[in-house]
Structure formats: structure tokens, C-alpha cells
Amino acid sequence: MKFINRSSSRILITYIIVTVLLLSVVSTACEAAPPRPNPMKATWLWDTSLISTVENRQTVLQFAKEQSIGRIYVQVNPDVDKSTYRAFIQEAAQAGIQIHALDGAPNWIRSDQQQQIVSLVKWVKDYNASVLENERFTGIQVDIEPYVLPEWHNERDVTVSSWITAMTLFTNEARQDSTLTVSAALPFWLHQITIPDDSSVRLNAKFISMLDEVTLMSYRDKAEALIEITADDLALADRLGKKIFVGVETNPSYEGAFVSFYEEGRTAMNTQLTLIDDALKGHASYAGIAVHDYTGWKNLKP
């Protein structure tokens, strides 16, 4: 019969205690970590006449249910009666669909047009304050795109600075006394541009850091191409604790056949969306896929 000396016994007991403690810590950490939400599908709805009647609203929401859409960005039109938004948001909430306010135009970067930003935010806040909780917008998004303006090519630095000023105004106004999720639709190539007053800062980093979420206009009809062009922004958002939706296009595009799913149709698009989800879900920043837009998506061939 062999005997374990006291020194070996103490080492064995210490090893067992340490192992048990480590397992306990790992178990507690796993239990405490919140589950990561599943990626969401979102879409843009620019034509508010599509929610103007009971029948139209039902058509939109039925399509949203069929396509598992969890969020719709709806353009705000002050000329549309608030009752239209109330009814649509309430019905969407019952179906588990978030509604975010949406608007924007390239010239909003110009100093004489930035009041449009203030007016948009004020309208959404005033609206939310006047309706029931389940009739409120839960977020607000701008889509400005100043790179289509002549000054983008003629006065790039001035235009970029004006864009930053406009986005800063938007985020400050939207966050003041508000719980709205603040986001913007942005092109995927902003990492190629530095900000005028600090060449060490890229424009994508500037915008992602100031927003809660970004929806990338990463329009490609192949998963591998979209994954490649969104890599920088997703990695950056991972580090900053921000959320990113990647975007796909369904409308005809003058930029080339590789941009939109208009030619391929819905079945081909759904196959690529699954590949995108599978490839990107490991990113903490990945929020899902935004399809541009409701009308184009609905009219896609099978």
C-alpha cells in the first residue's frame, strides 16, 4: 500500500480547490452574459402614401411578416396627418415591428438648409410626446448623401466639414431629452476619407463614434463582396460598441449589374442574405440586414 506524503496531499487539495473555483467563475460568467439578439431584417419606406389607408397599412405589414422584417424606416412627411403614423406604428408594434422616423437630402449639409434637420427632430419629438407609447417612433435616421452634390468634387474638404457639422447638429438635437435610437445611412467607403482638421481620423470613424447605429449602403449582389467592403466598419464598430446594419439594393442601379438584386430576384437574394448572416453574426456590432427599399423588395421577381 502506497502513502501520499503531506506535501503531495496539500498540492492535490489546492489543485482541486482552484479547479472548482475556476469552474464556478466560468459558469457564473456564462450565466451573467446576456444572449446576443438575432440579426434583424430592416427596410426603408419612402412613400408615405403606402400607409395612408387601412388596406395599404395591412399590405405593408403583411409583407413585413412574410419577410421577417423587424424594423421599417418610414419617411416623415409633415403634410401627412399624424393619425396615419399613429395607426401604422400601433399596428406595427402589435406585430413586433419597430418603426423609425426617416428623412434627409444632400443639401441638408448647407448652412441655409440645416434648419431642416432641426425641424425633422422637433417634429418627431413633438409627435412622440403627443401619442401613446405604442404609437411612438423608437428611432430616427437621416440619409443625407452630400457626395452627389457638385461641391463634393469641387470643394471636398469644405463639403466634408459641412457634413460633419450637419451630423453633429443632428445627433445633438436627437439625443437631447430623448431615448430615440440615433442612426444614419452611410456609404461603405468613408474609411477612405480623412477629416479636414485631423488627417489621422477617418470619416467613417467620426460618424460611427457619434451615432448609436449606422446602416451601410453596402450594395452588392454577392455575399463575399458585401462582406469584404463592410469589414472595416464592422471591426471599428466592434471596438466602439456600436451597431451596424449592412444594406442591399433591390432597385435598378446605373452603377452596374453587381450592385442590385433587381436582376437576380428574391430567391437569389434570400440565399445571399443567409450567407451574409452566417458570415457576420460573429461581430458584436452586427445588427442585421437592411433592404433598400420596401417597394423594390416587394416588386422583385421570384
Q: What is the mean pLDDT of the chain?
A: 91
- Residues, the chain: 302
Query: If pLDDT is split at 50, 70 and 90, which confidence band does 117 have?
Result: very high
Number of Cβ within 10 Å of residue 168's Cβ equals 13
Residue 74 · residue 47 · CB < 8 Å? no
Residue 228: which of 173, 170, 279 has the closest Cα? 279
| 280 touches 246 (CB < 8 A) | yes
Q: CB neighbours of 83 closer than 8 A, spacing ≥ 6?
A: none
The per-residue pLDDT for 16 is 43
Contact call for residues 212 and 242 (beta carbons, < 8 A): yes
Domain ranges (residues) in the chain = 1-33, 37-298
pLDDT at 38: 85
Output the CA torsion 163→242→271→224 (10° steps): 70
Give the whole-number percent of the chain exceeding pLDDT 90. 87
Residue 79 has pLDDT above 50, yes or no: yes
pLDDT for 120 equals 98
**Contact of 247 with 215, CB cutoff 8 Å:** yes
pTM of this prediction exceeds 0.85: yes
What are the tens digits of pLDDT across the range 10-65?
544 444 443 434 444 334 433 444 555 689 999 999 999 999 999 999 999 999 99
Q: Among 25-34, 116-125, 240-249, which is the least confidently predicted range?
A: 25-34
Q: What confidence tens digit (pLDDT) does each residue in 195-208 have?
A: 999 999 999 999 99
Among 75, 72, 86, 101, smallest CA distance to 134 is for: 86
SS3 202: strand
Instruction: Give the Å distances, CA to CA, from 239 to 27, 131, 243, 284.
Output: 26, 37, 11, 9
Closest CA to 249 of 204, 294, 190: 294
Report how far residue 236's alpha carbon sits from residue 20's, in angstroms, rounded to the nearest whole number. 37
- Distance, in Å, from the CA atom of 267 to the CA atom of 246, rounded to the nearest integer, reads 19
User: Hey, what's the cell of 275?
Assistant: 450567407
Mean pLDDT, rounded, for 222-251 = 98
User: What span, in angstroms and rounded, lies between the C-alpha atoms of 248 and 270?
Assistant: 11
Q: Is 197 exposed, middle or buried (0-12, 13-18, 19+ CB in 10 A)?
A: exposed
Q: What is the pLDDT of residues 281-295, one digit of tens each?
A: 999 999 999 999 999
- Supply the DSSP symbol for 241: T
What pLDDT was estimated at residue 27? 42
265 vs 262: CA distance, rounded Å: 6
Predicted confidence (pLDDT) per residue in 128-167, tens digit: 999 999 999 999 999 999 999 999 999 999 999 999 999 9
Q: Tell me which CATH code domain 37-298 carries.
A: 3.20.20.80
Cβ atoms of 247 and 289 closer than 8 Å: yes
Q: Which residues fall within 8 angstroms of residue 195, CB to CB, at 6 or more apart?
A: 160, 161, 164, 201, 202, 203, 206
φ and ψ at 120, to 5 degrees? -60, -50
pLDDT score, position 35: 54
Half-sphere exposure of 299 (CA within 13 A, CB side): 11
